[in-house]
Structure 1
Amino acid sequence: MTTVLRAGSRLATAVTILAAAAGCASGGEAASSCAGLVTYDNRGYLPAADMAFTVGERLGTATIVECDDTPNDPGVTIPEGSTGAYTVEGSDPADAIAVGDTPAGATLVKAR
């Protein structure tokens, strides 16, 4: 069973909040961000732009990477966790997967 979705799960919401809260390096340059990073099959994936996609079959479990982009603000740290990993119709899993607790709540992520 497949489900057509737009990126927008709890993970995507958390990523948006953390990306907005991420600090900047000195000199006003953007700091490197780990917000939203998940790993599956030895690949790193980051949230993709808000676009329609179709979730396919479950691949297994992806790891939500621990992230502390703002060490001086302990309220926004993401602990390491796990979530479901799903195929995305028309995409090779080496390029893109969907992640979430259920297919209906999955978010599109692309290999970095």
Structure 2
Amino acid sequence: MSWTGRSAGLLVAAAVVMSGAACTADSGGGGHSCANRYTYQDRSYGDVANVEFTLGKKLGVATKPPCEDTGGQDKNEEPVMKETAYEVDGISPKVAIAIGDTPKTATFFAVYSGSKLPPEVQKLIDGS
């Protein structure tokens, strides 16, 4: 793998770790901050920066739950946000989707555990 490929992989891994750090449990009722998280078909997706992908067909609606990082329920809490979920060509929606108001504004999101990206996503990042 070239130096550029390794650097891009490291940058993406760092972005994933930072996204995960933004979603930490609070000390109160076990809620989570959800800065860069969406849910689609009972799966949670986190954003992954700097991924070149081809948008596929429209899948449905992804939801961004309100952030619960204040330690308690607030009556002025932001509402659940809904945006369109799209397929990412060559990757199962169980692994990655794109989310945005329009196809032009769609951003890449992936399901991952901790700081490890699914192999299909890493392969897309590496350009293999």
The bucket for the TM-score relative to the shorter chain is: 0.5 to 0.7
> Contact between 2:34 and 2:64, CA under 8 Å: does it hold in 1?
no
Match of 2:123 in 1: none
Following the alignment from structure 2 to structure 1, what is the Cα–Cα distance between the partners of residues 102 and 49?
20
Match of 1:37 in 2: 37
Q: Give the length in aligned residue pairs.
A: 85
Q: Highest relative contact order (Cα 8 Å, sep 6+), 1 or 2?
A: 1
Which has the higher Rg, Structure 1 or Structure 2? 2
Q: For 1:76-95, what aligned pairs fall within 5 Å after superposition?
A: 79-95=79-95
Instruction: Give the gaps of 5 or more residues in structure 2.
Output: 1-18, 113-128
Structure 1 runs (4+) greater than 6 angstroms displaced: none
Following the alignment from structure 2 to structure 1, what is the Cα–Cα distance between the partners of residues 68 and 36?
11
Following the alignment from structure 2 to structure 1, what is the Cα–Cα distance between the partners of residues 34 and 64?
10
Following the alignment from structure 1 to structure 2, what is the Cα–Cα distance between the partners of residues 61 and 79?
15
Identity %: 42
- Larger helix fraction of residues: 2
Aligned Cα RMSD in Å?
2.8
Match of 2:51 in 1: 51
How far residue 54 of structure 1 moved from its aligned partner, in angstroms, is: 1.0
Which digits, 9 at most, give the CA deviation of each residue in 1:62-91, with x for residues without a partner? 1112113355xx9xx754110000000111
How far residue 60 of structure 1 moved from its aligned partner, in angstroms, is: 0.5
Normalised to the residue count of structure 2, the TM-score between the two structures is: 0.55
Instruction: Give the gaps of 5 or more residues in structure 1.
Output: 1-15, 27-31
